[in-house]
Amino acid sequence: MSAPAGAELGSKGAAARGVTRGARSTTGLGALWVAVVALLAFMPYLVSQADTSILLNFFVLLTMATMWNLLAGYAGMVSIGQQAFVGLGAYGVLVLADAGFNPVAAIPVAAVMCAAISLPISLLVFRLRGGYFAIATWVVADAASLVISSNSSIGGGTGKTVPGMSSLGPRAFEEVTYWAALAVVVVAVGLAYALLRSRLGLVLAAVRDNEVGARSAGARVATARRIVYLVAALGCGAAGALLAVSQLNVQPASVFGVQWSAEMIFVTMIGGIGTIEGPVLGTIVFFLLQQNLAHDGAWYLIIFGSLAVAIAIWAPRGLWGTATSRLRVQLFPVGYHVGRPRRTRDVVPEPPAAPPAASTT
Amino acid sequence: MAPLLELVHVKKRFGQVTIAEDVSFAVEPGAAVGIVGPNGAGKTTLFGVVSGDVRPDAGDVLLDGRVVSRLDPAARCRLGIGRTYQVPRPFDKMTVFENVLLAAQQGARARGPESYAHALAALDSTGLAPDANRLAGSLGLLARKRLELARALATQPRLLLLDEVAGGLTDLEVGELVSVVREANERGVAVIWIEHVVRALLATVDRLLCLAGGEVIGDGDPREVLASPRVREVYLGTDAAVGESVT
Ligand SMILES: Nc1ncnc2c1ncn2[C@@H]1O[C@H](COP(=O)(O)OP(=O)(O)O)[C@@H](O)[C@H]1O
Ligand SMILES: [Mg+2]
């Protein structure tokens, strides 16, 4: 995941061409990301407790948005029911903590449980396409919420407090939950990136461009979609688990709320669907607006909603997509580049303004 | 030994239009078979039946003597059926190399450097190597057709289905195409080639099927099939083309 490793290989003939990842030289990007994560890890020592908790919520939403982006932006599955896994992740932590588990250690366990539950759910919702799929995912989320609410041993409709964190002082609690959230978002974005760079990522891109062509070239579309759905459940489950640990209280109406889907969709659309950078940028914009306008009541939501609509109409590729369509910047390069056998030439496919001069030796 | 491909009593209709009434034929491993027939005869649909895109109303498709009628296109590709589409289906927002790499990784189940080697070899043999880093969406029609062929080759097929890949090519380009297909065939890949450019077929295949009215109306030595009265009848008006190519 750091500096892209070029694979030198000899093909037939004298010409040996290197195949590298990413359209431009991307050495140093790995170092950049390490520096960013290291800086974020020090944040609890640099900023106030309130700001730490804002950053924590930023990580939670970014994790969710990254997962929704994988689903809708790459696998063509527009879900409005990912709160099913947010809620189940939160309740996973609650149940495990009730049984004596350390809540922080329960985060990955709850996430894996969500991934496991997503498999049978996928058998159900994958029978539907497009809008029907979207609605089915919402129905599943509501059903999960109902089942949980009717179970009084885990707090019923009013919810329950997550035990097991009281031994930590307030300062240590803040730090531990912050680092847990940072770890989750780094793993989530890293996993999304690794997935898109893998063979599966190529399958998703091909299916997006031409599904019939992809199938006849051997791509197993249903398997690819199922893996993405599973990963998205894992990520959203981890985000929900973080909510439980950081808020120390789990309520069905809150963790299963459709507002999670609304926020994931908003930030992804604003930042740029179908790019890894998009949700990052969109989540930053969301939190900036929220922090600057939250004291004016719900104004930030209205402004944010209007922004999302405006972007959907005039810049459907989102802020990142629009900005980089000219600049060709890639902070997460996923493509391939074939080196020239002999001399190097710029091979970026820009339509030439004038016909290329005949062999400028 | 079982034939590589066998169609058994395949029947297909679209509404009132009969595409295949009762089509049966077999193709041996390593064979080179041409298919001709008037437009709308159902040639492309028949490829769909073989590759899994089209579900026949009745009949079966066998690969290596095993019924594959219920397998989806991806599974059939992985078993060795590689196809091109008459109307190209490129992955527009991916580069030419990535288009072909997908086929190598999925169809041929290759990984890492092995998949790169398959992809580069397919680009080399189809002359697309200089365009490796271009987006497929920026290619012209002829290059798209080459990309179809490159993608099919990169799946490392045992059976290659070519659907009118020579249309619109110059004589020189037809010659290059023929040598690519023959090269694959000499490596043991069985080829079934639907083509109106009869001279390309005659340079490549040793068996020709003629499809018309939902039936196989000619099957055998290419020149004999083209000379048979029934085939000449359905090709009425294009006698010149056929006559030219037989010489
Ligand atoms: N999906 C479809 N639905 C209805 N009719 C179709 C479909 N696909 C092909 N056809 C019709 O079937 C006939 C045979 O088409 P095709 O197989 O493309 O013939 P060919 O390749 O021999 O020119 C044509 O009349 C075409 O319009
Ligand atoms: Mg056709």
In this structure, the answer to whether residues B70 and B189 fall within a common structural domain is: yes
Does the pLDDT of residue A164 top 50, yes or no?
yes
Q: Which of residues 38-77 of B touch A (CB under 8 A)?
A: 51-53, 72-75, 77
Query: Which pLDDT does position A44 carry in this prediction?
Result: 94
Instruction: Please say which residue of B114, B135, B156 terminates a domain.
Output: B156
**Residue among A18, A11, A10 at smallest CA distance from A336:** A18
How many Cβ pairs within 8 Å bridge chains A and B? 122
Long-range contacts of residues B173-177, Cβ cutoff 8 Å, at least 24 apart:
B173/B142, B174/B199, B174/B200, B176/B127, B177/B149
Average pLDDT value for chain A: 87
Q: By mean pLDDT, which of A126-130, A331-335, A339-343 is the weakest?
A: A339-343
* Tokens standing for residue A75: 């696998």
- Proportion of chain A above pLDDT 90, given as a percent: 66
**A323 pLDDT tier (thresholds 50, 70, 90):** confident
Mean pLDDT of A15-21: 74
* Residue with CA at minimum distance from ligand 1 atom 16: B42
A172-182 mean pLDDT: 95
pLDDT at position B145 over 90: yes
A127: tokens are 């029978």
Q: End of a domain among B98, B127, B156?
A: B156
Res. B169: pLDDT tops 50: yes
Q: For residues B159 and B124, what is the distance between their CA atoms, to the nearest angstrom?
A: 20
d(CA A270, CA A307): 7
Q: Residue A250 — φ and ψ, nearest 5°?
A: -125, 125
Q: Are strands B32-36 and B207-212 parallel, antiparallel or unpaired?
A: parallel
Q: What mean pLDDT is predicted for residues A3-29? A: 54
One domain for residues B140 and B162? no
Q: What confidence score (pLDDT) does residue A28 get?
A: 78
Low-confidence winner among A200-209, A321-330, B55-64, B222-231 (lowest mean pLDDT) = A321-330
- Of A126-140, A219-233, A336-350, which gets the smallest average pLDDT? A336-350
| Whether residues B172 and B247 fall in one domain | yes
Residues B44 and B152 both lie in one domain: no
- Of A29 and A66, the structure prediction assigns the larger pLDDT to A66
Q: Is A13 on the interface with B (CB under 8 A)?
A: yes
Q: Tokens representing B140? A: 């012209």
Query: What is the complex's ipTM, to 2 decimals?
Result: 0.92
Q: How many residues does chain A have?
A: 361
SS3 per residue for chain A: CCCCCCEEEECCCCCEEEEEECCCCCCCHHHHHHHHHHHHHHHHHHCCHHHHHHHHHHHHHHHHHHHHHHHHHHCCCCCCCCHHHHHHHHHHHHHHHHCCCCHHHHHHHHHHHHHHHHHHHHHHHCCCCHHHHHHHHHHHHHHHHHHHHCCHHHCCCCCEECCCCCCCCHHHHHHHHHHHHHHHHHHHHHHHHHHHHCHHHHHHHHHHHCHHHHHHCCCCHHHHHHHHHHHHHHHHHHHHHHHHHHHCEECHHHHCCCHHHHHHHHHHHHHCCCCCHHHHHHHHHHHHHHHHHHHHCCHHHHHHHHHHHHHHHHCCCHHHHHHHHHHCCCCCCCCEEECCCCCCCCCCCCCCCCCCCCCCC
Provide the domain count of chain B. 2
Is B57 in the same domain as B170?
Answer: yes
What pLDDT does residue B167 have? Answer: 87
Give the pLDDT band of residue B168 (cuts 50, 70, 90): confident
Residue B105 pairs in a beta bridge with: none
Contact A17 B53 (CB under 8 A): no
Chain A residue whose CA is closest to B119? A11
Residue ranges with CB less than 5 Å from ion ligand 2 = B 44, 86
- pLDDT reported for residue B117: 96
**pLDDT of A205 strictly over 90:** yes
What's the gap in Å between B214 CA and the centre of ligand 2? 14
User: What ranges do the domains of chain A cover?
Assistant: 46-257
Q: A71-85, A103-117, A157-171: which range is least confident on average? A: A157-171
- Region A233-261 average pLDDT: 96
Mean pLDDT of A297-316: 84
Instruction: Report residue A315 as tokens.
Output: 């810049």
pLDDT band for position B160 (cuts 50, 70, 90): very high
Tokens of A163: 């035990």
Ligand 2 centroid to Cα of residue A168, in Å, is 72
Q: Are B161 and B51 in contact (CB under 8 A)?
A: yes
Whether B125 and B231 map to the same domain: the answer is no
Residues B166 and B227 in one domain: yes
pLDDT band for position A167 (cuts 50, 70, 90): confident
What pLDDT, on the 0 to 100 scale, is given for residue A16?
Answer: 53
Query: Which of A9-18, A36-45, A169-178, B134-143 has the least mean pLDDT?
Result: A9-18
Determine the average pLDDT of the residues in A50-75: 96
Contact residues of ligand 1, CB 6 A cut-off: B 14, 17, 19, 37, 39-45
Mean pLDDT of A167-194: 94
Cβ within 8 Å, pair A9-B72: no
Supply the range of the domain harboring residue B152.
Answer: 81-156
Which atom of ligand 1 is least distant from the CA of B194?
21
Residue A296 predicted with pLDDT over 90: no
Most A-contacting residue of B44, B91, B123, B148 (CB-CB within 10 A), to test interface: B91
Which residues of chain A lie closer than 8 angstroms to B53, CB-CB?
212, 215-216
Most confident of A41-50, A264-273, A288-297, B72-81: B72-81
d(CA B25, CA A359): 52
Cα gap B217→B230, rounded to integer Å: 7
Is B170 in the same domain as B229?
yes
What CATH number corresponds to the domain at position B243? 3.40.50.300
Mutate to test the interface with B, among A200, A209, A216, A344 (most CBs of B within 10 A): A216
Chain B partners within 8 Å of A17 (Cβ): 120
The answer to whether A16 contacts chain B (CB < 8 Å) is no
CB contact under 8 Å between B89 and A212, yes or no, is yes
Mean pLDDT of B83-112: 97
Which pLDDT band, with edges at 50, 70 and 90, does A26 fall under? low
- The answer to whether the Cβ–Cβ distance between B74 and A220 falls below 8 Å is yes
Q: How far is the CA of A78 from the centre of ligand 1 (A)?
A: 33
